[in-house]
Amino acid sequence: MARSHLPVPSSLRIDDSAGRAAAQRLSDAEGHATSADGVGGPPELIMTRSSANPLVIIPTYDEVENIGPLLEQVLEALPEAHVLVVDDASPDGTAARVDTMASRDPRIHLLERSGKLGLGTAYLAGFRWALQRDYSHVFEMDADFSHDPASLRPMLEAAAHADVVIGSRYVDGGGTVDWSWPRRALSRFGGLYSRSILGMPVRDMTSGFKCYRRAALEVVDLDEVSSTGYAFQIEMKYRAHLAGLRLVETPITFPDRARGTSKMSAAIAHEAMLQVVRLRLRLGSAR
């Protein structure tokens, strides 16, 4: 079930600076003309605070303890936003909690799926839902408070100068809190591994706290995205990078989940490692 409430149309204005190829694609995607002679550089779309219609997508599996307070904090931090919770039939009743909140607040939407189909496909379903509506920016955000709602506003502002804003633990000012050393090591290794295999300039390759400008999501071919699990985060960054989009990292502090159960496992990490190699072989040669 998906409740729907269409936000008012957004207005876009043009400025200079992103990559030429990306600009052309964005221009095609949004129906704007790029300058034929290229004088002044390619256009970048800038969204002012008042004209932004952001959507925050939150995938959930057994997050009933977190989702209520999180939705409240998200909408307090970004009152102009809508939120879409994509729930995979959580046995703990997460969807029912969201449904109750959605009946009181038209900014809250719920997309229910039939079973645990994975983080990647949850986001893809959310992206498609967003693109069928009039949102100007689309956030990815975890439900367990590892992603601080207070970072939403700075990330939205950073999207004025980027196509994809990545909430990053590994740039100045960012970090992790109360992480066990195996988790720190896995995250660091995963980042180094994927960054070097894919040749990407991004410090936090596995971050799942992101803000996409709408046009960036329109440029990436969502039908081609193959990672269903945690490698999805890496694949989306890689595809955005290959498409010539401008990825920018803003610092976030990332505490471990305080409540609820982790879905991370050795099998998930293993799948992600293999998927990075597959992505390099499949997409890297097209560069």
Ligand X SMILES: Nc1nc2c(ncn2[C@@H]2O[C@H](COP(=O)(O)OP(=O)(O)OP(=O)(O)O)[C@@H](O)[C@H]2O)c(=O)[nH]1
Beta strands in 97-241, from DSSP E residues, in sequence order: 108-112, 137-140, 164-168, 175-177, 210-213
66-82 as b/e: b if 16+ CB within 10 A? bbeebbeebbebbeebb
86 touches ligand X (CB under 6 A): yes
Q: Which of 32, 153, 161, 257 binds Mg ion (CB under 5 A)?
A: 257
Closest approach of Mg ion to the CB of residue 168, in Å? 16
Name the binder of 263 from ligand X, Mg ion, none, CB < 5-8 A by kind. Answer: ligand X
Chain mean position to CA 202:
15
User: What is the C-alpha to C-alpha distance for residues 280 and 84, in angstroms, rounded to an integer?
Assistant: 31
Name the binder of 86 from Mg ion, ligand X, none, CB < 5-8 A by kind. Answer: ligand X
Q: Please give the C-alpha separations between residue 203 and each of 1, 154, 194, in angstroms, as whole numbers.
A: 37, 18, 10
146 touches ligand X (CB under 6 A): yes
Q: Which of 213, 239, 240, 207 is nearest to 226 (CA)?
A: 239
263 touches Mg ion (CB under 5 A): no
146 touches Mg ion (CB under 5 A): yes
194 touches Mg ion (CB under 5 A): no
Q: Which of 122, 130, 216, 243 binds ligand X (CB under 6 A)?
A: 122
Name the binder of 122 from ligand X, Mg ion, none, CB < 5-8 A by kind. Answer: ligand X
Find all residues with CB under 8 Å of 45, minimum gap 6, and list them. Answer: 12, 13, 14, 15, 26, 30, 32, 213, 215
Which of residues 52 and 166 has its CB atom nearest to ligand X in the complex?
166
Which of residues 62 and 249 has its CB atom nearest to ligand X in the complex?
62
Closest approach of Mg ion to the CB of residue 55, in Å? 20
140 touches Mg ion (CB under 5 A): no
DSSP assignment, residue 221? -
Name the binder of 190 from ligand X, Mg ion, none, CB < 5-8 A by kind. Answer: none
Positions in 1-30 near ligand X (CB under 6 A): none
59 touches ligand X (CB under 6 A): yes
User: What is the C-alpha to C-alpha distance for residues 121 and 222, in angstroms, rounded to an integer?
Assistant: 10
Six token digits for residue 44: 């970048």
Q: How many CA atoms does the CB half-sphere of 240 hold within 13 Å?
A: 29
CB 65 within 8 A of CB 94: no
Name the binder of 264 from Mg ion, ligand X, none, CB < 5-8 A by kind. Answer: ligand X
Closest approach of ligand X to the CB of residue 264, in Å? 4
144 touches Mg ion (CB under 5 A): yes
Q: Which of 263, 277, 283, 284 binds ligand X (CB under 6 A)?
A: 263
User: What is the C-alpha to C-alpha distance for residues 34 and 78, in angstroms, rounded to an integer?
Assistant: 32
63 touches ligand X (CB under 6 A): yes
Residue 247: Cβ-neighbour burial (10 angstroms; 0-12, 13-18, 19+): middle
List interacting residues with ligand X (CB under 6 A).
Answer: 59-61, 63, 86-88, 116-119, 122, 142-144, 146, 257, 262-264
List interacting residues with Mg ion (CB under 5 A).
Answer: 142, 144, 146, 257
